[in-house]
A = this chain, B = another copy of it.
Amino acid sequence: MKKIRLGMMGGGIGAFIGDAHRRAARICNDFELIGGVFSTDYQKGKQFADLENILPERCYPTLDAFVKGELTRPLNERIEAVSIVTPNMLHHEFAKKLLKNGFHVICEKPMTFTVDEAMELQEIVNKTKLSFALAHTYTGYPMVRQMKEIVKSGVLGKIHRVDAQYYQGWVNSIIQGTGSGITGVWRLDPNFAGMSSCMGDIGVHAFNLIEYTTGLQIQKVLADLSPVKENVQLDLDGTVLLQLPDNIKGVIRSSQVAAGEENNLTIAIYGSHASLKWSQENPNFLYQLSDAEPTKVYKPAHDYNSSFAQASQVMPSGHPEGIYEALGNIYKGVARSIRGEQLFDGEFPTVEDGVRGMKFISNVVSSNKEGNIWKVL
């Protein structure tokens, strides 16, 4: 099968997230990395291109050069899709320009700096009909997809409550150092990261996971955020009360200063008849609780799963796939979308999810600033 020609913005030598995207693209085996703008420092970008066996002429110094260069190529050689894995402040500009020039886009989150920018992208995607995926990687896990399908099936009864958590501890070592340590980390710098650190970087994943698995939209938020330390400009810790339709209550708890926590994203959906729980650090176990039956533990690669979940693991049961495979599933969805195949509901997070995420971040920050009041999304 012909591979889709992939470009990349950012993600050069030493970049954690760019490497993850490339691995995911290789795992799903539907893409071939052809070129890109791998660094703001062109020399470094070229070093990277050399390492990755990318032709020098496809390694560009700037986005403009990239677009110009690729558009001069015939359609059957031109890069078709582009992954944007730069710091947050470039997402909007890059996505906009790429979409407007006919490239499909896979974009890291948060999608933009502002809600307006997000809505602008949404408009462009809707108009161009190009494929646009947001890298909410966790929706690529088979058991998250199974969770979505179980909710759809109605076995939970009336949903009463959603409770998501995203705890990390890695910022501790940074804020305990000197001030210069803080400024050196782009995720803590508003100029690079945007209006929020904890909620923008990880809380928004929890938000997305709730909307993804329940199929519901969060209507109102009330947030209490904390920068934890004096010199820190953005939130590193926070709790968000949620209001969903039909009087469903919820909460998102998130921290980057919870010592010893690695990447502890969890979600629980509580219903009147049954409940579901999932945890990212043991992603191949999905728990369904009910008062009337023994707790059920779903695992991937079993016939009892939905066809969507089944399609999301290649290995037989008991062979744990991980986060690269989750992101690979999202890339697989984008490839299938580009090829015009019939998609499952939820194969990759969309530009609408990006708009929702920006509304969440924006309103959470406002709620906190205005004295922990309810804000409508």
B283 touches A294 (CB 8 A): no
A29 touches B27 (CB 8 A): no
Task: State how many residues of chain A have any CB contact under 8 Å with chain B.
Answer: 88
Complex interface: chain B residues within 8 A of A319 (CB): 262-263, 322-323
Complex interface: chain B residues within 8 A of A260 (CB): 274-275, 288-291, 295
A259 touches B271 (CB 8 A): yes
Q: Quick one: which of A1-45 are within 8 Å of B by CB? A: 1-3, 16, 19-20, 22-23, 26-27, 29
- Interface pick from A66-74, A87-95, A167-175, A334-342: A167-175
Distance in angstroms between the alpha carbons of A319 and B228 in the assembled complex: 25
Complex interface: chain B residues within 8 A of A23 (CB): 27, 29, 314
- Interface pick from A101-109, A153-161, A182-190: A153-161
A264 interface residue (CB < 8 Å to B): yes
Query: In the complex, which of the residues B163, B224, B261, B372 contacts A289, with contact meaning CB atoms closer than 8 Å?
Result: B261
Given contacts A23-B27, A226-B249, 19 further A-B contacts (CB under 8 A): A160-B257, A161-B258, A167-B270, A170-B291, A172-B272, A251-B251, A258-B270, A259-B274, A259-B290, A260-B288, A262-B316, A262-B319, A263-B316, A292-B303, A293-B296, A296-B296, A315-B323, A315-B324, A320-B322
